[in-house]
Amino acid sequence: MTAHAEDTHAGDRGERPLRRDAERNRQRILRAAAEVFTRRGLDATLDDVAREAGVGVGTVYRRFPDKESLVAELFQERIDALVTVAEEACAASDPWQALVSYLEYAAASLAGDLGLRQLMMFATYGRDRVAYARERMRPVMTRLVERAQAAGALRGDFRATDVPLIAYMLASAAEYASPAQPGVWRRYLALIVDGMARAREGTSELPVPALTPREIEESMRAHGQRSSARR
């Protein structure tokens, strides 16, 4: 979202600019791909993207040599955001709040974007870019955790690598519940945050109601459909 409006993708190495209709289609494809990969994950087909964009598959393949390039171009920005937000959190005044906020940000990112989640957690596409992002993230995360511990708020046995795993768990819950109640992950974030404190008197209020049994069944059914299951 922080992209410059005039990102016509010309000028990168003196290629001729695209014809106007072609450029318009290119933008449509990017928008459609964002939508589709975000919602349905990286397993979505380029045929799906083309349909969503209202163009033919051929058009997609003329513009992007393969799925990987499209994915890389799409997610670069969001991956960078995960790093820069962490860096900003490091500079915040309240170390405990900073850590909690970042955890919430990371979980929200992965929970709301199945594609990003697969990209960051499974090395299927764009290995190098993701590895680089992780590398930059590591010291920042460590500092974030250690500051919260030094402030006496965070339990001493918490580690920097717990952050991505917790975000992943929450995103899993989010994906599971998404057909019925996409926000429940916040409930479990609150629970975990209460577990991360060094000590506490009462409990924070869980911000979302639990799923009803009916909603669980709804989620089950929805996932059952999508998954493989012949006859």
Task: Pick the closer one to a second copy by CB: 27 or 204.
Answer: 204
Residue 122 backbone dihedrals phi, psi, to 5 degrees? -115, 135
Estimate to the nearest angstrom the gap between the alpha carbon of 148 and the chain centroid. 24
Binding segment for a second copy (CB under 8 A), chosen from 79-87, 88-96, 106-114, 218-226, is: 218-226
192 binds, among a second copy, DNA, none (CB under 5 to 8 A by kind): a second copy
Which residues neighbour 190 within 8 Å (Cβ) at sequence distance 6 or greater?
Answer: 204, 205, 206, 207
Contact status: 62 vs DNA (CB under 7 A): yes
**Pattern 37-56, binding to DNA, x per CB under 7 A?**
------x-xxx------xxx
Q: Record the tokens describing residue 34, joined without a space.
A: 């964002």
Distance, in Å, from the CA atom of 26 to the CA atom of 9, rounded to the nearest integer, reads 10
Q: Which residue has the tokens 């933008």?
A: 27
Q: Which residues pair with 154 in a beta bridge?
A: 197
Both tokens of residue 221?
């059914």
154: helix, strand or coil: strand
Three-state secondary structure call for residue 25? helix
Applying CB under 7 A, the site for DNA has a residue count of: 23
For residue 33, the partner it binds in a second copy, DNA, none, with Cβ less than 5 to 8 A by kind, is none
Nearer to a second copy, 28 or 187 (CB): 187
128: contact with a second copy by CB under 8 A: no
Site for DNA contains 231 (CB under 7 A) = yes
- Shortest distance (Å) from residue 11 CB to a second copy: 29
The reply to whether 22 sits near DNA by the rule CB under 7 A is: yes
Can residue 96 be called a binding residue for a second copy (CB under 8 A)? no
User: Helices 67-90 and 46-53 sit at what angle, rounded to 10 degrees?
Assistant: 80
d(CA 35, CA 148): 36
Q: What's the longest Cα–Cα distance across the chain? A: 66
What residues line the site for a second copy (CB under 8 A)? Answer: 43, 66-67, 118, 121-125, 127, 130-131, 134, 138, 155-157, 159-162, 164-166, 168-170, 172-173, 176-177, 184, 187-188, 190-196, 198-203, 205-206, 209-213, 215-217, 220-221, 223-224, 227-231
What residues line the site for DNA (CB under 7 A)? Answer: 18-22, 25, 43, 45-47, 54-59, 61-63, 66-67, 230-231
